[in-house]
Structure 1
Amino acid sequence: MNLAALDLNLLVALDALLREANVSRAAMRIGLSQPAASHALQRLREVLGDPLLVRTGARMELTPRAQVLRGPLAQALDQVRGLFIPDDFDALSSERQFRLMMPDLAVELLVPPLMAKIARLAPNVRLDVVPWRGPAIFTAEFARTIDLVISIGDAFKGFHRQLLYTDRDALAARRGHPAGTKLARREVFLKARHVAVIIRGQNEDLIDGWLRAKGIERRIALVVPGYIEALHIVARTDLVAFVPRRLIAALAKPLSLAAIAPPLDPGIDEQFMFHPTRAQFDPGSIWLRNLMLQTGRELDRPKRKAA
């Protein structure tokens, strides 16, 4: 085998492919496009003289050679990474600033408990939160300034993805709404006047794409750029909005809102945390990511107890 044909990036791609056994997921894991990951797989097949991944029915499986490579390759890469790990992050004395990009609902749900932890563990650390923007307008120059992204399952090039918490959508209405719990009926739901939330970088409210695929159109009376704005409008009108249930619960008391189970359930929402590949082994980034993951898991904890 010609070792000169193997660079470190190719080995990182091989590690992702062996872990995921799926080209698309491997690409997302290491921040590559799917064509780039497919190209890397082809190069690896040529260098190693083995197909590595083969299709079996509707899924891909590792070849015996790939199975043998999986453990030793992961250990070798860990050793290489260990050569470049800097000193530990001293949270208590650090004055580091972290820049986070997240939508308004993530700010509402995650930032207060996260800041309570930071005030106790790292009182001089500062967080700068910037408005969310989608992958299509997430430029490379902008990405270099970001330490963490909180988003739904979008792919951000050059960023790793981890599940943060799950949620479900509900219909938000003001307490005392004329239709009340009748909004749970399909015909009442469709007659209601809705607030759509179209976040920067998106062309429509995600729920409308889901409804349209089922041949359903809801009656949109107002479009706003964020969930918080939608709930404030709903609280003072007879409009309703499809909003993540956790956000309705967080603002139900101050805004006098009710969460109504919709007649059409789009299922589980998944909120993810993304961190840049360049910061994969940075102790400060690891510290913040662990704190954010802990905060996200705390949101899911009541749900698991109730199950």
Structure 2
Amino acid sequence: MNLAALDLNLLVALDALLREGNVSRAAMRIGLSQPAASHALQRLRDLIGDPLLVRTGARMELTPRALALRAPLAQTLEQVRALFVAEDFDAAHSERQFRLMMPDLAVELLMPSFMGKVTKLAPHVRIDVVPWRGPAIFHPEFARTIDLVISIGNAFKGFHRQLLYTDSDALAVRRGHPVGTKLKQRDVFLNARHVAVIIRGQNEDLIDTWLRSKGIERHIALVVPGYIEALHVAARTDLVAFVPRRLIAALARQLSLITIAPPLDPGIDEQFMFYPTRAQMDPGSIWLRKLMLETGRELDRERRKAS
């Protein structure tokens, strides 16, 4: 049989005829006129080589061939429909695994609240957080494994960008730091020894990129690959960490840190959520993004309340 020449509407008509066992009712079921349904039945008889529906006295009855076709045809049509209709994401029963890429500060700020939601709504879903890498080393093979990226305003090829939350940068020092609040003064800030954060895939701390644009260089004594490491070092030394303000607030009590306003204000930081273009209409991806956006919005609401 030449499938390219097959009118798939005939399968819909056949399904209706097999379900109703009556041409008139089958026509009503699929919105055809009775002559059109009769014409479809004749075409089906010619195609299959079987009368399918025969008159027995005052009634119409399905032939054995027609009865044998009923179940497999219904299953086939359901599979065809599934090709064009996305399956719903059943969070409560899903065992899907999602891979997220984000820096350590995003893990600290977002994941406790985010995982609280996941645990409540989707207890069998697994979330894997993988080490962050910048766009320059974000290769296509790796990108295909990622469901969500949290990052500042970089561009990740093949991913859409959506604002997640905003932040600002401040200085973090240990309680009892010898110069403490004097770091608000530019000369004290420049004479202090700093811990810089250079994340994988970056050439320097983004703060230093910004400072250099102002013609300023700070004294970097130590470079670490993560923000949390920078805060741990600042908590146990006299080094100064210039990091996102939200992260300082999250760990201030635990690490005995204080927040100092810098002598120069870098302005607002924007943290974005990136998701793959290929998964834009995927119900599971939509669910994941919605949950992450809710978590980011909660951070911004907390900030507005605090201010």
Asked if Structure 1 and Structure 2 have the same fold, meaning a TM-score greater than 0.5 normalized by the shorter chain, the answer is yes
* Per-residue deviation, residues 146-170 of structure 1 (Å, max 9, x unmatched): 0000000000000000000000000
Map of 1:246 onto structure 2: 246
d(CA) in 1 for partners of 2:137 and 2:246? 28
* Per-residue deviation, residues 117-169 of structure 1 (Å, max 9, x unmatched): 01110000000000000000000000000000000000000000000000000
Code of the aligned partner of 1:280: Q
d(CA) in 2 for partners of 1:262 and 1:135? 29
Map of 1:87 onto structure 2: 87
Matched, 1:165 2:165: yes
* Per-residue deviation, residues 10-49 of structure 1 (Å, max 9, x unmatched): xxxxxxxxxxxxxxxxxxxxxxxxxxxxxxxxxxxxxxxx
Task: Kindly state the Cα deviation for residue 284 of structure 1 after the two structures are TM-superposed.
Answer: 0.4
Can you give the 5+ residue segments of structure 1 that lack an aligned partner in the other structure? Answer: 1-81
SS in 2 for 1:123: coil
Code of the aligned partner of 1:299: L
Map of 2:220 onto structure 1: 220
Map of 1:276 onto structure 2: 276
d(CA) in 1 for partners of 2:165 and 2:260? 21
Q: Kindly name which structure, 1 or 2, has the bigger radius of gyration based on alpha carbons.
A: 2
Aligned length: 226
* Per-residue deviation, residues 70-111 of structure 1 (Å, max 9, x unmatched): xxxxxxxxxxxx984511100000010000000000000001
Task: Kindly state the Cα deviation for residue 287 of structure 1 after the two structures are TM-superposed.
Answer: 0.3
d(CA) in 1 for partners of 2:85 and 2:209? 44
SS in 2 for 1:160: strand
CA contact (8 A) 1:85 1:281 kept: no
CA contact (8 A) 1:85 1:282 kept: no
* Per-residue deviation, residues 231-262 of structure 1 (Å, max 9, x unmatched): 00000000001000000000001100011000
Matched, 1:235 2:248: no
d(CA) in 1 for partners of 2:283 and 2:86? 7
d(CA) in 1 for partners of 2:236 and 2:84? 55
SS in 2 for 1:265: coil
1:92 to 1:190, Cα distance in 2 relative to 1, 3 A: same
d(CA) in 1 for partners of 2:303 and 2:125? 31
d(CA) in 2 for partners of 1:146 and 1:118? 18
1:275 to 1:250, Cα distance in 2 relative to 1, 3 A: same
Map of 1:296 onto structure 2: 296
d(CA) in 1 for partners of 2:247 and 2:132? 17
Map of 1:100 onto structure 2: 100
1:84 to 1:105, Cα distance in 2 relative to 1, 3 A: farther
Task: Kindly state the Cα deviation for residue 305 of structure 1 after the two structures are TM-superposed.
Answer: 3.3
Map of 2:146 onto structure 1: 146
Task: Kindly state the Cα deviation for residue 180 of structure 1 after the two structures are TM-superposed.
Answer: 1.1
Code of the aligned partner of 2:244: P
1:95 to 1:118, Cα distance in 2 relative to 1, 3 A: same
CA-atom RMSD in angstroms: 1.3
Map of 1:16 onto structure 2: none
1:93 to 1:235, Cα distance in 2 relative to 1, 3 A: same
1:84 to 1:165, Cα distance in 2 relative to 1, 3 A: farther
Map of 1:67 onto structure 2: none
* Per-residue deviation, residues 168-203 of structure 1 (Å, max 9, x unmatched): 000010011010111111111111100000000000
Map of 1:191 onto structure 2: 191
Code of the aligned partner of 1:155: A
d(CA) in 2 for partners of 1:302 and 1:130? 27
Deviation >2 Å, runs of 4+: 82-85, 302-307
SS in 1 for 2:270: strand
Map of 2:181 onto structure 1: 181
Code of the aligned partner of 2:206: L
Per the normalisation by structure 1, the TM-score is 0.72
SS in 1 for 2:304: helix
